Amino acid sequence: MTELQSRRTARRSIDELARRLLELDPATHHRFVNRLLAKVESGEIRRLMLFEPPSHAKSTYASSMSSYWSP
């Protein structure tokens, strides 16, 4: 995959953005949360509350990664 293709993919997917910026592969629960966040971004879901134990990357994906991502 070229650099340009990699950047385009990262703009469409929070999972790919995490792989690119954080150099980590999102776990199953992260991918689930990221799909929900994409639905919030598109307007399909109007409100979303995330309840997970501490240190499960809620803030990383819901705040930090989402600010970089725009489909």
Q: Using an 8 Å Cβ cutoff, are 45 and 37 in contact? A: no
pLDDT in tens, 8-64: 665 677 777 777 777 778 888 888 888 888 888 888 999 988 888 887 777 777 776
pLDDT at position 6: 64
69 within some domain: no
> Which residue is associated with the tokens 């776990």?
27
70 within some domain: no
pLDDT at position 10: 58
pLDDT at position 23: 78
Residue 70: pLDDT over 60 = no
| Residue-range definition of the domain harbouring residue 50 | 3-64
| Cα gap 35→9, rounded to integer Å | 15
Question: How many domains is the chain partitioned into structurally?
Answer: 1
pLDDT at position 7: 64
